[in-house]
Amino acid sequence: MNNSVLKFGATRRTVLGGITLATLGAVSAPALASSASSKSFNPRRWYEHDYRIVQTNLREIDVLQDPRDIAKAVKDFGGNVIVSNIGGIVAFYPTDLEYHYTNPYLKGDFVGEMIEAAHSEGLAYLGRFDMAKGREPVFQAHPDWFSLTRDGKPREYNGTYQACPASEWAQDYAPKILQEALTRYKPDGVFFNGFYFPGTNWYNKADEGICTCDNCRSGFREMFGRELPVDEDTSSPAWADYQLFQQRVLGGLLKKVDDVTAPLLDGAPVMGRAVVGRGEMQRDVHRAPPEWPYQGGEQSRSYMARNPRKPWSATSASFIDFPWRKVTETAAYHKLRMAQVMGVGGHLDLYLMGTLADQADPTWLPPLSELFQWRKRNTAAYGGMSMNARIGLYDSAATQMFTGARQFAAFEGPFFEYQFGAQRGSYTMLVDSRMPFRMVSDARVADGTTKLSEDVDVLYLPNTLVLTDAEAQAIDAFVEQGGLLIATGKTGSMNSKGEDLASVPLKSLPTSRYGESEDAQGWSLVPDKGAMPQLVGQVPIDGNYYHGTLRPGAEDLIPFGPDRRYGPPELNYAIPGSPVRDIPGAAVQAYGQGHAVHIPWHIDWQYYRDGLPIHQQILAELIRRYKGPQKFVLEGTGAVEMMQMGRANGQSLLHVINYAGQRNGRYNDPPQLHGLRLGVAGPSGPARMLVAGATVQGTREGDRTWFDLPPLKAFEAILI
């Protein structure tokens, strides 16, 4: 290992080794017995254990390090799975393939030695392939294998060229690389930094448009009989077809990769495919501030909704952005991300540039090593836990695809801003309401995998424009059986191609069809004049209001107040006797045993933009009014989120996460929060505070048992 001297005479080795429990706020109380000791850990079946991944994204020069040192450092850190390079852009083994560029620093068989070193330390070894790019000699020999910008230029950066998924490089040569490597080596799994259709260049941040290579042009023309869309414009008639084109090309490519790798892997899984899933949490300094603090929870909830019962991790990228890959995030930010992933049942996962021994500033590593070691000691607490929150946030991939809202950069289409804001605003409202929730996948509702009435009591649809008949029927049945549906904006107004529907497919929704939209700037509601007398003050409305036809029996929960003129202060009042809009601020309809509420404006988009408590309070009151108090209630001040999991035996594991360390894009160790109380409906046994290492007895007050939480640092995990 590199033992270069740091301040105060410390070395990288001693900084990493000098772990204290204080870094996480834990005490040396006995942890729960681990259900998978190092002796029982089976590297070949690592995904059936409580796995903890450390990904070493190796540079060419890292083959000069000793694989035994690399593997031992990962084990000492607290990991039990290592991800290490095999090939793709650069071969880390002596390849025989003409266009597989060999690492110029390679002296022996680094991959073979790395696998042997990992296994000698009891680690599972996952081989990393990056097939998305090729080196300049490959481009010179086969320029037709690579992607072109909207201007017809190659996508090049520092001598690497972006491959097109529809090209022969992806469809033919990449499988040859996999076949060669996986014939020689038997990793315990494979991770692909895979193929994708580019838009914005990740490295120079240039907006280069969709791929316009001949493979895409001819393939799209053959598939749909039309030319590629000119731009990433959701209003373009060709845009929906282009999304389908990408899905089909990538789906076919993944099938081809599976066909090649499956016979060679001897049962070892490919990350992100049939057996186990993986995501990535990372910063992009060019994204509009503030930095979104909920990456870990949002990404994990979304994936786990689409892929129920699959093990999952979201790797936390160590660096702040691609141009500064040796500049690391704070340990506090990594812990915040990872606490969210653990709170919904995901595994620990860290991704760093180079090896643990070669970090420019290693001081961020000890707190994360302590977290990995803490999780190892508390493995048993997480075994068998799964999300069981009774509030569902609808995750419509079809709506996101159509509007472009799955992207971070703004699109040109007319639907992006509202949809992106609705997604994030609805998520934030539930977090700020301290109501545990899960995501519900549109695809799993449509195919019947998700049984809404079994899984949730409340379903929130944030401006979910695209709804299929299968989804609508399942949601209607959920409401009819006693569920609460809350939908916002123009939910259920379009098909997947962006064509307006004549009527809303949801029979339970109080709005049966949509009319014209109107700019609602300056409009306001008066909740205390309607069904919410406890909400005092006015509710501001901005953006579009969607007029529509209400079904018979629908009621208005929140009436409008008269318009107030604005301009000079002297005119800022409602003229006595001025008319009040006779349209609903929030309409409700009883349907079977349940209720459906439609808020025909963008309450969630506004909350994401403005953060006004009154918008969040409306949502919380709707849930309380129609479904009663939640099982778990958290009282006390501070920016916190409560996440909920449970076991079939009735045990619950709650995560309370402290966001008080964030200020815009900065993440510090959060200040301790005092005075938080957890209320559990009905009688309850003692609560085990896993981070504080303490057992707390509850006090019965009325219909709840209350627990006083110890001072909250980064997070607390509460086993009840």
Report strand pairing: 640-646 vs 652-658. antiparallel
What would the 3-class secondary structure string for 562-603 be? CCCCCCCHHHCCCCCCCCCCCCCCCEEEEECCEEEEEECECH
Closest to 339 measured CA to CA, from 363, 371, 370:
371
The whole-angstrom separation of Cα 392 and Cα 459 is 5
Structure tokens belonging to residue 636 = 């006390």
Using alpha carbons, select from 81, 70, 60 the residue that is nearest to residue 356: 70
Residues written for the chain:
720
pLDDT digits (tens, 9 = 90+) for 98-130: 999 999 999 999 999 999 999 999 999 999 999
Supply the DSSP symbol for 346.
-
What pLDDT was estimated at residue 484? 98
**How does 467-497 read in b/e, with b if 16+ C-beta sit within 10 Å?**
bbeebbebbbbbbbeebbbbbbbbbbbbbbe
Taking only the tens place, the pLDDT of each residue in 335-358 is: 999 999 999 999 999 999 999 999
CA–CA separation, 31 vs 379, rounded Å?
A: 9
Is residue 84 within 8 A of residue 112, CB to CB? The reply is: no
The fold of 391-627 is Rossmann fold (3.40.50)
Mean pLDDT by 10 residues, the chain (720 residues): 30 30 32 46 97 97 97 98 97 97 96 98 97 92 94 90 94 96 97 79 72 95 93 76 91 92 94 91 84 96 96 96 88 98 98 94 96 98 96 96 68 79 97 98 97 98 97 98 98 88 97 97 94 93 97 97 88 88 97 98 97 97 96 98 96 98 94 98 96 97 97 98
Instruction: Please give the distance of CA 393 from its chain centroid, rounded to a whole number.
Output: 13
Predicted local distance difference test score (pLDDT) of residue 412: 55
Q: How far apart are the first and last CA of the chain?
A: 43
Sign of CA dihedral 342, 665, 370, 58: positive
* pLDDT of res. 419: 94
R_g of the chain, CA atoms, integer Å? 27
Predicted local distance difference test score (pLDDT) of residue 592: 98
pTM of the model: 0.91
Q: What is the pLDDT of residue 36?
A: 41
- Measured CA to CA in angstroms, residue 321 lies from 280, 325, 330, 352, 553 at distances of 13, 6, 13, 12, 54
- What one-character DSSP code corresponds to residue 501? P
Distances (CA, A) of 703 to 432, 636, 682, 719: 24, 19, 5, 20
Instruction: Give me the DSSP letters along 154-174.
Output: B-EETTEEEBPTTSHIIIIIH
Distance CA(364)–CA(88), nearest Å, equals 30
Residues 677, 687: Cα–Cα separation, whole Å: 12
User: What does the domain layout of the chain look like in residue ranges?
Assistant: 391-627
Residues 6+ apart with CB under 8 A from 398: 442, 466, 468, 496
